[in-house]
Structure 1
Amino acid sequence: MQSTRRVLFNPTSVPGLRPPRLQTRDFYNAGNSPKTGPRAIKVESAGIWRGVRRASTETGEGKSGHISAGPNEGILFFENLFPLVKNWLLRLPWHNDRSLPELLWRFNNQKLSSYHPLTLVKRALPSSVPIKVTEILPRFKDGGAFVKFSHPDGISAKEIEGLVSRYLEENPIKPWFSPFQRIRTNLVVGKPWLEDLYRFPSTRIKVEFVPPSPGLEAAELSQETLYSLFRKYGKLAEITSQPADSKVLPKYAYLDFTRMKHAIRAKNCLHGLKVSEEAGGGKAGTVLRLSYEPKTKSHWIRDWIVNHPRVVIPAVAALLATFTVAVFDPIRTFFIKTHIDRSFNISNNKVYKWFKSQATDLLSLRLGKSEAVNFSAIWDDRRSIIEQLQTWLIETTETFIIVQGPRGSGKKELVIDQALKGRPNTLLIDCKPIQEARGDASTIKAAAAAVGYYPVFSWMNSISSMIDLAVQGTIGVKSGFSETLDKQLAKIWQNTSTALKQVALQHRKKDDKDSQLSDDDWLEAHPECRPVVVIDNFLHKNEESGVVYDKIGEWAAGLTTSNIAHVIFLTNDISYSKSLSKALPDRVFRQISLGDITPEVARKFVISHLDPDTDIPDSGNKDKLTTSQRRRDLEQLDECIQVLGGRLTDLEFFARRLKTGQPPRRAVVEIIDQSASEILKMYLLAIDKADLKWSTEQAWFLIKSLAEKESLRYNEVLLSNTFASSLTPTASNGEAVLEALSAAELITINNYKGRPMSIKAGRPVYQAAFKLLTEDRVLKSRLDLAILTELTKIETKSIDKYETELNALGSLPSQPREVWPRVQYLLDKLAVSQGKIEAWEKEIGVLKKILSTEQ
């Protein structure tokens, strides 16, 4: 049985407002649970709050989503009762319909205050208006409430709206959360849709034109009609009609209000309004169906980023680059600086040095002393070169030094261990691991390791390159994420320059007499404080030289011209001037050429290897003989050194064999045999010849010629048919072939005043190896056969040219006298070529006979 208690507002009719612990709770007495007495509150104010209890909720009567008004009834919508700023609470998963009223009630100290929403509604309805409130439906999302009322026959709902609106203008009521905006009310003329979906107010309203019942046709209202209907609820910013060619049904229009509260007021008052035919709604009339339309997307930032990749991607790349420079560059410079001055090197620690000295005495670690004795004879012989280097390093002029010499001539030991011995702040960069690295990432990692550049994200270069390629294929332009190897190396060398300058300036003091000088002037005036950069293995594998060597050359030139550091290049290539002249075209290099040591020094070097410190006579045993004194076969030493020459690597290899007990001659024979095998494998019988820049015939021509003579004229070799007219495509350029063979150490090219003059064996021991190879009849016959076959093909091509020209001359209608000398010249050339071919054919026959009979 339904109760008919008269109350202001029956909270039990709003199930969503009941807290969990109470089955019945009035909106007014929230928190008070009287155990006895009525479950409603009587309000005696002018009798307008006396109503009938109804089963309704925030979503309408019976949760149907609608509220109906019968005869002599009306509905007013009051706005600005609840703060719109709290609408985000409705998105929370634990939200329910009772949370906001309960929070508001608790905020007002568990009693109805003058700012309570229902109190505000009560204050907004004057006692002079003859109405009776029958229902109140709060609309938290819209910040207001629907108030349903009944009125007598003598007054209409429209007149009541006017009375209430006029009263609110004369007596403005402002809620606590919005002290600058007053409460307003409008009469609901449509049939409001009371939904609790996650649809929130917006300044844009979508108005759909639907028929009043299925099967009828709705009319599309004009902008003037829409303006007349909606303008009284607030100022309109724009009215956008549906495009004329649009097939979307039902027809619609967009209304943009200047303020959100105007859109809320219009939506709640006009939804479901039926526009009559007289007002432009068509014969059957047109019903307006209103809904909020989000004007700005919730993910507009993300969408803008996705839709503008040409702007966003380069901007992100620039920001990442800026962040990297700002954060990582100081760290990298610090690590490079510590790598140069060895601040954290344990070998510079005094405690470590003391333990090392004690351990050296206890364990008799004499390897360092032994090696020093072994090289002492060589350093004595090259004392003038060492002193020259040290003199150049204290001069104020730009120091750009090149130390050139074949492999095994002791360039690195001479510079590092002798000229720079005891000098602090020395940076050694080995180009070999950098150049031999596979791929850009490995090259960057090797270059960073050489100077202490850390942290380095070499793997990011490959990933960013793939990203850049994908972006370029998508938007048509490069993103800028990836950096070329050129830029990456330039960044490493730039940070190294900064660290070198800091190391050089750390010797500067404020109380110096030249403290007023600028940094550049001070560095120019104090060359002894500049660090020394030693670049080893420069132009290693010169046939592959490219960006690595170019960047190193440019960077080294910048160091010297800015007086930041001294630079010393160690190279095996005699054509270094071609590469370095690009970096310093207007400078003269300081050059030192290291050759093989003299036979006297070579003898001392070998003997020093045979006589370690343990064999040197001491005060207790003066009669003890050294190893070299006890050996009877050392009388062959001079003869063997004459064959081996003065190359340190070969001499050291020879000395090790002697220490094992081998006789000198046998050791030399084995070294020659091993060298001959290396030559045969590397230069003559290479399996993969596609990567070679010389032909087998050219290499054998040089070996055979040098076996007969120790030195060949450079230009004479170039004029030979094997070099001038080679049929191998990769070996058609004779000078490039000679440079490639020189880089591969088969030969050595000697220069005179900057031009190539003569050709010798790449190592002295190769001279004997060449002779050994030419003594092999089968090998010599096979390779001579290849040369003669190629020469025969060359002359055959020449004969074809002569014959072609003779045919052309013979086809002339008449033979003028002027043609006769040319004909005779061609005939003579043809005869000479034919004579060569006949002679070579005879030799080829002999060689084939040898190959078929001998093994």
Structure 2
Amino acid sequence: MLRQIERVRPPFISTRVRLNGTLSFTSTANTSTIFLDNIYPLRFSFYDVRQLFVNTDYLARQCLPKDLFLEVLKITPLKKDGGAFVELRVPRGMSAGELEQRVQEYLEKQDIRPWFNPLQKIRSFLVEGNPWIEDLHRFERGGVVFGMHSGHSCVEAELFRKYGPLSDIVPGQGFALLYFLRLRSATAAKNCLHGYSTPSARLSIFYAPINRFRSVKDWIFSHPRITIPVAGAVLAAITVAVFDPIREFFVTQKIENTWGKHWDWVKKNTVDLMLNRRHREETFFVERKVDVDKVEGWMNEPLGSFVVIEGPKGSGKRELMNDIIDKRRNTLLIDCQPLHATHSDKSTINILASQTGYFPVFGWLNSISSMVDLATQGLVGEKAGFTETLDTQIRKILNATTNSLAKIALKHKSHPSERPIVIIDNFTSEGVVEKHLATWAAGLVNSGVANVVVLSDVGSEKNLAEALPGKAINTITLSDVDEETAKQYVWRRIGDIKVKGIEKLGGRLTDLDDVVRRINSGIPPDAAVDVVVQNTVTDVLKVYFSAGKEWNKEQAWVLMKLLARGKRVGYYEVLLDSLLDESVLHTLERSEFISISNENGVLG
């Protein structure tokens, strides 16, 4: 607080008389008026009724020293300004300044606080001017403006310091604008010093309005280290309170297929019947039924199950899982292949959100946040943290999906067959999204929220085992079908057309479908088989017998000669060749040149 400047008071005491609704003071020698601040709550509107519960007479008399036996002549309340004028008869031999000091010492000792403002004490000041009580219906207050007939405004501003600390002084021509830190300091100064005369000036004081919006705006822009993090916290709170329930609702609709199941029923009984489409069971391999029954048994276990179905492309992984999905509700499919094809974080988030049903997604907001972070770093020297990384956004989507899955699982907790199933297709051991998906899937199984089925090529089981160190992973490895099943698959799709040479294709589903597509387009059956075989030979030569690979041509040729003897060859029999080792075999397995299976503990 700024220091108080002592000054010589006028040698006369003044008392008041009412003139046309205002208060003015005339000089007498035995009366004095003090202003008691904090007697009333400050009134900010016409409907503020707190003043009705204040006993002015009792509270004002409690503020006067009992040992002085002061005679109260009149009490004039100032409800708008939160105080009251108390006219006193000054004891013989005591000056007005001494009376003010004695009252202030008494209030400081007694620590009197009103019920409506217990954090501030009641204060008293001597009325030194000729106050004017404003009876206009207005309540806005701000700084205090005082004008004078002569003198220097900055010098006269020293008179105001005892009423409270000043935050700013704006001098002008014949006036000055004073800003107090507290509003009650302004009301006390205005009521005690209005009309005060000095040898050089006479003060006329009134309230000056404050542009509160501008003040708030100036404070916000002058404290960016505080306001920017607070703005981020408020934005995050709004997002959690408003958008997260909406997103969980749409994720739940995606999992339960609330709208799609009605369309599927209509499509199955109209379009599919008119086009004479066969059901998937008619084209599904009979030998896969054993694997389907095995997966369904795992899905019906009391606790969550983690299943990995692996095999080369075209081995029927997706068809096997589709056969299971058709018999169950509450399924969620996440396909990793579109996530691999993206080249930006925004596209990755949009695709993942679309697959999980996470909506709405404000991708543009993260771009704006990055610009705000850049501007903040230049302004205050550090980032505000508004920009969300790819990892953070992926976790938000997966957390919302977990909440929806947990609600569905709780709804069907008495029926394990109704537990949600999460299918992760085209899973690989590379990529940021796959790492999050593996950890997320492990959490779903450990908490019993959902069953998880991972469809992948070869080599992903090891990475999934790292995410589930204490959980058994049920694995099914699919390979090419036998010759007889491949013939039945092709004949069932093309009708009575005789096709020779199907045994040349092997049992890869993609090759069989390619032959069926070519025959249906009008190409002769034998020519269609020859074209597919020739394309396969070309692809093998280009991919596996070219330079710049992790293996050499000799190693690939040795394996091809061994497999030419029969469809299967022993794992350890292959390792007897000096050109081959385990690292080369696993590399060729990941590139889909060969497949390694484990039957009864024996690798082959």
TM-score category by the smaller chain?
A: 0.5 to 0.7
1:585 aligns with 2:489: no
Superposition deviation, residue 536 in structure 1? 1.0
1:444-483 equivalences in 2 (<5 Å): 444-483=349-388
Superposition deviation, residue 490 in structure 1? 1.6
Cα deviation code 1:751-782 (max 9, x no counterpart): 55899977xxxxxxxxxxxxxxxxxxxxxxxx
Give the letter aligned to residue 305 of structure 1.
I
Conserved in 2, the CA contact under 8 Å of 1:332 and 1:453? yes
- d(CA) in 1 for partners of 2:382 and 2:603? 52
Among 467, 480, 493, the alignment partner of 2:398 is 493
1:696 and 1:537, CA in 2 relative to 1: closer, same or farther beyond 3 A? Answer: closer
1:306 and 1:427, CA in 2 relative to 1: closer, same or farther beyond 3 A? Answer: same
1:530 aligns with 2:414: no
Q: Which residue of 2 aligns with 1:87?
A: none
1:679-694 equivalences in 2 (<5 Å): 679=540
Superposition deviation, residue 179 in structure 1? 10
Q: Highest relative contact order (Cα 8 Å, sep 6+), 1 or 2?
A: 2
1:263 aligns with 2:164: no
1:716 and 1:529, CA in 2 relative to 1: closer, same or farther beyond 3 A? Answer: closer
Cα deviation code 1:409-465 (max 9, x no counterpart): 111111112x33321112222111223222222111111111111112233223323
Superposition deviation, residue 294 in structure 1? 8.3
Superposition deviation, residue 707 in structure 1? 4.8
TM-score for the superposition, normalised by structure 1 = 0.49
1:788-807 equivalences in 2 (<5 Å): none
Conserved in 2, the CA contact under 8 Å of 1:186 and 1:265? no
Specify the SS of the correspondent of 1:493: helix
- d(CA) in 1 for partners of 2:85 and 2:192? 17
1:381 aligns with 2:287: yes
1:568 and 1:311, CA in 2 relative to 1: closer, same or farther beyond 3 A? Answer: same
Cα deviation code 1:309-360 (max 9, x no counterpart): 233222222222222112112111111111111222263587x46xx63565
1:627 aligns with 2:497: yes
Q: Which residue of 2 aligns with 1:695?
A: 548
Specify the SS of the correspondent of 1:367: coil
Q: Which residue of 2 aligns with 1:641?
A: 502
1:562 aligns with 2:447: yes
Q: Which residue of 2 aligns with 1:44?
A: none
- d(CA) in 2 for partners of 1:577 and 1:255? 72
- d(CA) in 2 for partners of 1:753 and 1:603? 26
Q: Which residue of 1 aligns with 2:456?
A: 571
Give the letter aligned to residue 317 of structure 1.
G
Superposition deviation, residue 532 in structure 1? 1.4
1:675 aligns with 2:590: no
Among 263, 269, 292, the alignment partner of 1:357 is 269
Q: Which residue of 1 aligns with 2:489?
A: 605
1:748 aligns with 2:594: yes
1:412 aligns with 2:322: no
1:461 and 1:717, CA in 2 relative to 1: closer, same or farther beyond 3 A? Answer: farther
Q: Which residue of 2 aligns with 1:333?
A: 248
Conserved in 2, the CA contact under 8 Å of 1:434 and 1:443? yes
1:751 and 1:386, CA in 2 relative to 1: closer, same or farther beyond 3 A? Answer: closer
Conserved in 1, the CA contact under 8 Å of 2:550 and 2:587? no
Conserved in 1, the CA contact under 8 Å of 2:129 and 2:194? no
- d(CA) in 2 for partners of 1:239 and 1:661? 95
Superposition deviation, residue 477 in structure 1? 3.7
1:312 aligns with 2:201: no
Conserved in 1, the CA contact under 8 Å of 2:439 and 2:467? yes
1:346 and 1:121, CA in 2 relative to 1: closer, same or farther beyond 3 A? Answer: same
Conserved in 2, the CA contact under 8 Å of 1:209 and 1:289? no
Conserved in 2, the CA contact under 8 Å of 1:207 and 1:253? no
| Structure 2 unaligned regions, length at least 5 | 1-13, 28-71, 88-126, 131-139
Q: Which residue of 2 aligns with 1:430?
A: 335
Instruction: Answer with 1 or 2: which has the greater Rg.
Output: 1
1:473 and 1:709, CA in 2 relative to 1: closer, same or farther beyond 3 A? Answer: farther
- d(CA) in 2 for partners of 1:505 and 1:293? 64
Superposition deviation, residue 399 in structure 1? 0.8
1:695 and 1:381, CA in 2 relative to 1: closer, same or farther beyond 3 A? Answer: same
Conserved in 2, the CA contact under 8 Å of 1:120 and 1:173? no
Q: Which residue of 1 aligns with 2:118?
A: none
- d(CA) in 1 for partners of 2:203 and 2:545? 93
Q: Which residue of 1 aligns with 2:57?
A: none
- d(CA) in 1 for partners of 2:351 and 2:167? 65
- d(CA) in 2 for partners of 1:304 and 1:176? 30
- d(CA) in 1 for partners of 2:199 and 2:577? 105
1:342 aligns with 2:257: yes
1:306 and 1:608, CA in 2 relative to 1: closer, same or farther beyond 3 A? Answer: same
Superposition deviation, residue 293 in structure 1? 11
Conserved in 2, the CA contact under 8 Å of 1:504 and 1:531? yes
1:757 and 1:460, CA in 2 relative to 1: closer, same or farther beyond 3 A? Answer: farther
Among 238, 252, 277, the alignment partner of 1:323 is 238
- d(CA) in 2 for partners of 1:467 and 1:122? 56
Q: Which residue of 2 aligns with 1:391?
A: 297
Give the letter aligned to residue 494 of structure 2.
L
Q: Which residue of 1 aligns with 2:143?
A: 202
1:671 and 1:297, CA in 2 relative to 1: closer, same or farther beyond 3 A? Answer: same
Superposition deviation, residue 710 in structure 1? 2.8
Question: How many correspondences in the alignment?
Answer: 488
1:253 and 1:401, CA in 2 relative to 1: closer, same or farther beyond 3 A? Answer: closer
- d(CA) in 1 for partners of 2:522 and 2:79? 108
Q: RMSD in angstroms over aligned alpha carbons?
A: 4.9
Specify the SS of the correspondent of 1:695: coil
Cα deviation code 1:132-151 (max 9, x no counterpart): xxxxxxxxxxxxxxxxxxxx
Q: Which residue of 2 aligns with 1:548?
A: 433
Conserved in 2, the CA contact under 8 Å of 1:532 and 1:566? yes
Conserved in 2, the CA contact under 8 Å of 1:208 and 1:253? no
- d(CA) in 1 for partners of 2:373 and 2:379? 10
Give the letter aligned to residue 402 of structure 2.
S
Conserved in 1, the CA contact under 8 Å of 2:145 and 2:208? yes
Conserved in 1, the CA contact under 8 Å of 2:504 and 2:533? no
Conserved in 1, the CA contact under 8 Å of 2:81 and 2:187? no
Quick one: percent identity of the two aligned structures? 30
Specify the SS of the correspondent of 1:710: helix
Superposition deviation, residue 666 in structure 1? 3.2
Cα deviation code 1:480-532 (max 9, x no counterpart): 3222222222221122122122223334xxxxxxxxxxxxxxx3x64223111
Cα deviation code 1:364-394 (max 9, x no counterpart): 311234x653x24x1x122211111111121
1:121 and 1:487, CA in 2 relative to 1: closer, same or farther beyond 3 A? Answer: closer
Specify the SS of the correspondent of 1:338: helix
Superposition deviation, residue 181 in structure 1? 4.0
Conserved in 1, the CA contact under 8 Å of 2:129 and 2:193? no
Q: Which residue of 2 aligns with 1:95?
A: none
1:717 and 1:678, CA in 2 relative to 1: closer, same or farther beyond 3 A? Answer: farther
TM-score for the superposition, normalised by structure 2 = 0.66
| Structure 1 unaligned regions, length at least 5 | 1-76, 82-116, 127-168, 189-198, 212-217, 243-249, 276-286, 508-522, 612-625, 629-633, 686-693, 725-733, 759-855
1:504 aligns with 2:416: no
- d(CA) in 1 for partners of 2:338 and 2:237? 30
1:650 aligns with 2:546: no
- d(CA) in 2 for partners of 1:330 and 1:366? 43
1:17-416 equivalences in 2 (<5 Å): 119-120=20-21, 181=84, 202=143, 230=159, 236-237=163-164, 259-261=185-187, 263-264=189-190, 269=195, 273-274=198-199, 298=212, 299-345=214-260, 347=262, 352=266, 357=269, 364-369=274-279, 372-373=281-282, 375-376=283-284, 378=285, 380-416=286-322
1:200 and 1:450, CA in 2 relative to 1: closer, same or farther beyond 3 A? Answer: closer
